[in-house]
Structure 1
Amino acid sequence: MYKVLITFDIDVTSRSLAGDAEEAFSEDEEMEPPRTRTIFIPLPPEDYEPPTRPYRDAATMANNRLPFMTPITERTEYSMDVDMDRAYQFKTPSKRDDRATPIEEASDSESGGSPLREFFPGESPFAKGREPLGSKAAKALSKTGPNRGVPVKGPIVKEAQCSPIDDNIRRTILTNIQPPLAAYPGFYDHHNQRYERGGEIRRFAKAVSRLGKANPDRAGLGIAPAVIRFANCQSRYTVKRELGAGAFAPVYLVENSDPDQDDDRVMMGKGAFAAYQRAAVEALKMESPPTPWEFYIMRTAHARLGPQHRATASISLAHEMHLYQDEAFLFLPYHPHGTLLDVINIFRAEPSGVMDEQLAMFFAIEIFRTVEALHSKGVLHGDLKPDNCLLRLDAKSAFFSSDHGLSSKWHADGSGGWDSRGVVLIDFGRGIDMKAFAPDVEFVADWKTTAQDCPEMREGRPWTWQIDYYGLAGVVHCLLFGKYLETVRADQGGLGLGRGGRRYRIRESLKRYWQTDIWADCFEVLLNPASFVAHEDGGRMPVLRSMRSIRERMEAWLEDNCERGAGLKAMMGRVEAFVNKSRR
């Protein structure tokens, strides 16, 4: 930097410029010599280009709370801190985000460019190594690990509008949750390794299915059994057969060599809840690309509901998860009685083609209670449909203490053995933790929608809780009509939103001998929830009071009419006899 020396001569004998012309220095006064003042003015080099944007020093402005700038949603001023993690960019240059300490990025040479590294760039937000992340060593590591930063104050995701299944959104949530995933019992992190046996397991299951599903042991002669082992895990899992084939996550029936391992009680945060006991036969869901999201949502739902909530028994539990670079292995309880869709198809073969109203009311009450409980704790399922509702028949678990023998009288409180019958929600891969988002968040569907998605998603409008309400309406519609839900507009047209905007109704007409007032109100609440927010706390969704009102009306009717005709107990016996026959 060049400097120029400039000297100013200041004549103090000059007259004032402010009108003091009559006042002059006396001739007797001694004239003072001129004084000089030296100022150094820096001159930039010839190739210097001055900045064209306002600059604020980040360290100086961190303690300045004056509103110099209006907060904006765009992530600007990246040049102010080039070393910060891109997942934690500041919303404005004048105020830092209240997020955890950024995680330093690792080079591609260290990570090997794995799929898991793409989902979680930089160091893994989970505990390093292969310790079971519920052990004492893992918990001690979680207190000092990279995820043990300052807890996020308020919602983790502050965007006003976003896609809830976006990888960046989920990564931000998983990296900032407290307690971190490292503190979850049953979560094993192998992010630095590849399992590389997924293809072999899939081929074995396909071969067993081709040779004979009825007797896989005999059909599998000549085929080496697929045995799954994990480092630092005493259990071995032998794959028996395929239970369901998804596009990215097939589900297998496996034998657990050590079902009595001591993790039947898991700790989540400050509370403890009783989980399903591990069993000799369990279900394995293999996810590729690997993600711990479903494990997190299922554990979150159980932790928030607690062991005493009746709806806890109707939510599948994530026993254990092993996360690799190429695969994720999620172990779940095995429910052998089939899905609600199987029951619906049983009655479609009947002359009437539909399920008896008493049985339909029973299953509707069970699903209403479960969804209502999830929503009260800020959890969305995201993919409600009949084939994601497994039957729960005579379940023997820590949730039930009553006699499993059914009484002829159905009771809303579950007494008489009825608490051991119901449904279990599975497949939380599209689940949403609403507490991680701002209260007024609006979601957008940036994927290809189908006829089973809610109208807001299909029409490109914002949505939140509507995804579960429409899914629940679809399940109830299948119970009553034996076919998938179709809706038509019930308003005067136009593009209005909210209470006076778009309204929908089912295409089919309710049968006159049904409880038309209950079912009509049921579909009205589920298809047009925005019309009922005035009755809710804060005037917003979820519409818990309206759902509770519908469910209680169903319960009152079923208690009075459960023994009418053949009776609900006899119908449940038919369902159990059918599923037991189909398992042979």
Structure 2
Amino acid sequence: MAVTSTNINQAFSFTSDPLLPWLHSIKKGLDDLFADHSEENSLAVDKLVSDCIRTFKNNPRCQNDVRFLKVWFLYMDCSRDFHSVFKEIEELQICLGNSVLYETCAVFLEAKGQLIDAHEIYRLGISRNAEPIESLKKAHKLFLERISVVHKACSIHQNVHNDTKKLGQTCVNPWSSSTIDEVLQKILPHLVKYDGYHFSSKNFPGKVALSTLQKSSRNKKIKIGGRDYLIKGCAGHGGFAQVFKACIDSDPDEIVALKIQAPPFPWEFYMYRQLDQRLPTEERSRFGNAQRMHHYSDYSILVCDYLSHGTLHDAINSYIVVGAFMEEVLCMYYTIEMLHILETLHSSGIIHGDFKPDNLLIRNSRVDLTDDMEQFVRRRGPWQDQGLCLVDWGRGIDLKLFSADTMFHGDCRTSGFCCVEMREDKPWKFQVDTYGLCVIVHMMLHNKYMDFEKKVSADGGHFYLPKLPFKRYWNIKLWDNLFKRLLNVQPCDDHLKMLRELRESFQEYVLSDPSFVKKLKESLRKQRLSLCSA
């Protein structure tokens, strides 16, 4: 094991508590494992650690207990997916203010050779002022010194690699620190020209420290750019950013979403302005809107429109909690919406990069929906305001900043949404979004994330399909065609044509059934009531 029980003995000096017997058992299991590294002992430790995590992960007494954090480290060491475990630690807020979390995770990643990820973990801890902060900064400094030596040793190889890259197809990681720094250098001179961009070389000047919002935000008032924002609650959070619902100047009718990020990251604002410029006016409401950005030296604050109807993930969960499944008519409707969204987006030279149900907000029409099939298909009348809205552009890719032949590599780091190409370490482009669409459709149909399997084709090749079968009363032909085509995109395929053909196949089915729109209206009405009550 890479993570050992160093200092775990210190846990036993504490007074009796529910966690203590588990720590004793885990220590004994580790001692047995070190004495006899058998598979039986290894499995016993893995089970003890997993059971301990499951027992105490929702116990508030353990939330800031460093002993419990060390159990998580053992669990992380047993897991093949570091990032999903770290994400769970974040969601449960286990010792987020303790520098031990970030130092240990960074060392873990460094040992695996994932230096960029290790660097990001250090930066995340420092941005959160994890204590003791000086210890964390010192560890980060030593890390940078170590990778500096590695970088110098590899410089000759890198120069040769760069020269070779020019001869063939360019392949870059769009989310690496070096790529992000490069594209930010390209766009920063242009940001000042965009409406709503406000830059200051100083730290955020407000009386309320933005870092305190992580612990307590409700009804706090912060002044940004001469306007008062009354925080009404946290609407979401990620690795480097938190999103808050806020009223402008205490006006309950003027509600916005504030995305507060440290270190500052103006890329998302740039992406929103590209959407403004490139998308047709009638499509713009499907892609979120940024009103303004305040860019300080320590934080960036993105002010966006706030949609109050929940996310597509909320809609899926509303069925799961009552043991039901989303109606097929509603699954088809949202599939048509997502195909249309990606068709529109990709034709403008933009990739979203984080296409998942959490980032698809529900849009509800302000007036009653009609039975008019033509309005439904062409998205006219009340159907224009009904559907989905794609937000969170922090991982967006602007293809116009890269050469036309550029392909991408690298992992999206979102558990369950890594496309086939990422898993097989092959170049990818639009697949990062189309695979996300497949996962979402699978979640709507099955209430589960998608697992796929590799099958042998008649010509001796192979193709991919979801493991779970379709239910016999579904329109199997439509769903099978969707997954078969989107999970097996070839470099020579015209993927925009593919998206259009898939969308049209679903729309043709809708038009063939006069009762479809009536059933859909009823399903949307029930969904709206369900999400409102939640």
SS of alignment partner, residue 192 of structure 2: helix
Query: Offset at 1:449?
Result: 6.5
Aligned partners of 2:354 and 2:412 also within 8 Å: no
SS of alignment partner, residue 473 of structure 1: helix
RMSD across aligned positions (CA): 2.8
The correspondence of residues 261-300 of structure 1 with structure 2, limited to 5 A, is 280-300=254-274
Query: Offset at 1:227?
Result: 2.0
| Equivalent residue, structure 2, for 1:186 | 196
Q: What are the ranges of 5 or more consecutive residues in structure 2 without an aligned counterpart? A: 1-125, 128-167
The correspondence of residues 306-321 of structure 1 with structure 2, limited to 5 A, is 306-308=280-282, 310=283, 312-321=284-293
TM-score by structure 2 length? 0.64
SS of alignment partner, residue 529 of structure 1: coil
- Label 1:302 to 1:562 Cα distance change in 2 as closer, same or farther (>3 A): farther
Which one is further off, 450-459 or 516-525? Answer: 450-459
Query: Offset at 1:198?
Result: 1.4
Out of 362, 371, 385, the residue aligned to residue 408 of structure 1 is 371
Query: Offset at 1:569?
Result: 0.9
Distance 2:309 2:257 in 1: 13
| Equivalent residue, structure 2, for 1:550 | 502
SS of alignment partner, residue 456 of structure 2: coil
- Label 1:298 to 1:565 Cα distance change in 2 as closer, same or farther (>3 A): closer
Work out the number of aligned pairs and report it: 365
1:229 aligns with 2:189: no
Distance 1:448 1:415 in 2: 38
Q: Report the residue type matching 1:360 in the other structure.
A: C
Query: Offset at 1:525?
Result: 1.9
Out of 184, 192, 210, the residue aligned to residue 174 of structure 1 is 184
- Label 1:179 to 1:344 Cα distance change in 2 as closer, same or farther (>3 A): same
Distance 2:457 2:205 in 1: 57
Query: Offset at 1:468?
Result: 0.7
Query: Offset at 1:177?
Result: 3.9
Distance 1:194 1:168 in 2: 26
The correspondence of residues 61-210 of structure 1 with structure 2, limited to 5 A, is 160-177=170-187, 180-195=190-205, 197-205=209-217, 208=218
| Equivalent residue, structure 2, for 1:503 | 463
Distance 2:195 2:289 in 1: 12
Q: Report the residue type matching 2:360 in the other structure.
A: C
| Equivalent residue, structure 2, for 1:247 | 239
- Label 1:436 to 1:502 Cα distance change in 2 as closer, same or farther (>3 A): farther
SS of alignment partner, residue 251 of structure 1: strand
| Equivalent residue, structure 2, for 1:529 | 489
| Equivalent residue, structure 1, for 2:431 | 466
- Label 1:501 to 1:257 Cα distance change in 2 as closer, same or farther (>3 A): farther
Query: Offset at 1:194?
Result: 4.2
Distance 1:500 1:419 in 2: 46
Distance 2:455 2:520 in 1: 35
- Label 1:502 to 1:366 Cα distance change in 2 as closer, same or farther (>3 A): same
% identical equivalent positions: 31
Query: Offset at 1:171?
Result: 2.9
TM-score by structure 1 length? 0.58
| Equivalent residue, structure 1, for 2:276 | 302
Out of 421, 446, 470, the residue aligned to residue 386 of structure 2 is 421
Give CA-to-partner distance per residue, 1:155-176, whole Å, 9 cap, x none.
xxx9812110123323332333
Distance 1:295 1:412 in 2: 32
1:442 aligns with 2:402: no
Query: Offset at 1:467?
Result: 0.6
Give CA-to-partner distance per residue, 1:443-465, whole Å, 9 cap, x none.
12167573321121122222111
Query: Offset at 1:480?
Result: 1.4
- Label 1:285 to 1:177 Cα distance change in 2 as closer, same or farther (>3 A): closer
Q: Report the residue type matching 2:336 in the other structure.
A: I
Q: Report the residue type matching 2:479 in the other structure.
A: W
Give CA-to-partner distance per residue, 1:362-385, whole Å, 9 cap, x none.
111111111110000110010111
Distance 1:379 1:279 in 2: 33
Q: Report the residue type matching 2:443 in the other structure.
A: C
Give CA-to-partner distance per residue, 1:315-336, whole Å, 9 cap, x none.
0111111111221111111111
Distance 2:412 2:370 in 1: 47
Aligned partners of 1:283 and 1:333 also within 8 Å: yes
Out of 303, 307, 311, the residue aligned to residue 339 of structure 1 is 311
SS of alignment partner, residue 204 of structure 1: coil
Out of 310, 314, 325, the residue aligned to residue 354 of structure 1 is 325
1:363 aligns with 2:334: yes
Aligned partners of 2:230 and 2:250 also within 8 Å: no
Distance 2:481 2:321 in 1: 29
Query: Offset at 1:257?
Result: 2.0
- Label 1:451 to 1:551 Cα distance change in 2 as closer, same or farther (>3 A): same
Which one has a bigger Cα radius of gyration?
A: 1
Distance 1:568 1:519 in 2: 18
- Label 1:248 to 1:562 Cα distance change in 2 as closer, same or farther (>3 A): farther
